[in-house]
Amino acid sequence: MLTEYFPVLLFLAVSAVIGIALIVIGNLLGPRKPTAEKASPYECGFEAFEDARMRFDVRYYLIAILFIIFDLEIAFVFPWATVFGKLGAVGLVEMGMFLLLLVIGFVYVWKKGALEWE
């Protein structure tokens, strides 16, 4: 039974050896010319104006989570659209229910004021 896993183990071993070899070769042969400009922190093309450990408003994270939730719906809509002809009316009703739940969630978040940035 373990012989069936040999190709997978071989693939993992070869990929690990190649990855480690590339890192080691890069460290040995790569140029090392540190300058003050290379060592400086980079933030959107200008010097940092605040501490990196500053506190963010919790609404920032709320917007990020909401974006992820509503963005992930596309991961379900695209595959559904590709097989829509095979699913028929049942697939249409199920996707309609899914999108209705998303719209209800969006309206709830909107009415709660989670999308306001003031």
For 65-97, what is each residue's pLDDT tens digit? 888 877 888 888 888 888 888 888 998 999 899
Q: Give the pLDDT of residue 97.
A: 93
Confidence of residue 28 (pLDDT cuts 50, 70, 90): very high
Distance CA 77, CA 84 (A): 10
In the predicted model, is pLDDT for residue 59 greater than 80?
no
- The strand ranges marked E within 1-118 are none
Provide the percentage of residues in the chain whose pLDDT is more than 90.
Answer: 25
The structure's pTM equals 0.46
Query: Is the model more confident about 99 or about 20?
Result: 20
Query: Is the model more confident about 76 or about 22?
Result: 22
* Tokens (6 digits) for 98: 């899914």
Element of type H or E holding 55: none
